[in-house]
């Protein structure tokens, strides 16, 4: 199975082609959107939701401390402090499209 990897540059090229804007303009817009989203995710709230209709929901949630976690490489017990993690839940349209039958390219 082959993995397709896309970068920020690929998004910029596609959006600039669709909108007829220059790559530099689209790059600035994309960078600002991602910086704004990052800033929102880093705000100090117990639970934080960023809902993008027809795309999905990003949710930042707290985790519990794990006093007896294990390093699988060395088998050593380590303490993992409580922290926050991000979770993405796809929207209805995206889920519906991904659930359709898929035949991989050969």
Q: Which tens digits make up the pLDDT trace of 35-57? A: 999 999 999 999 999 999 989 99
For the structural domain made of 43-106, what CATH number should be given? Answer: 4.10.520.10
pLDDT number for residue 105: 73
- Helices and strands in the chain: count of H runs, count of E runs: 3, 5
pTM listed for this prediction: 0.78
**For the chain, domain boundaries:** 1-42, 43-106
Per-residue pLDDT reduced to its tens digit, 13-36: 999 999 999 999 999 999 999 999
- What mean pLDDT is predicted for residues 74-79? 93
- The answer to whether 48 and 40 are in contact (CB under 8 A) is yes
Q: Whose CA is closest to 34, among 12, 19, 18, 13? A: 12
Burial letters 23-50, b for 16+ CB under 10 A, else e: eeebbeebeeeeeeeeeeeeeeeeebee
């Amino acid at each position: 199975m082959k993995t397709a990897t896309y970068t920020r540059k690929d998004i910029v090229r596609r959006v600039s082609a669709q909108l007829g804007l220059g790559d530099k303009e689209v790059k600035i817009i994309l960078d600002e959107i991602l910086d704004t989203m990052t800033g929102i995710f880093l705000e100090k709230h117990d639970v934080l939701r960023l809902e993008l209709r027809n795309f999905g929901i990003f949710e930042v949630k707290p985790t519990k401390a794990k006093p007896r976690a294990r390093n699988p490489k060395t088998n050593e017990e380590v303490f993992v402090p409580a922290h926050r993690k991000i979770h993405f839940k796809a929207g209805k349209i995206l889920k519906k499209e991904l659930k359709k039958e898929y035949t991989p390219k050969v």
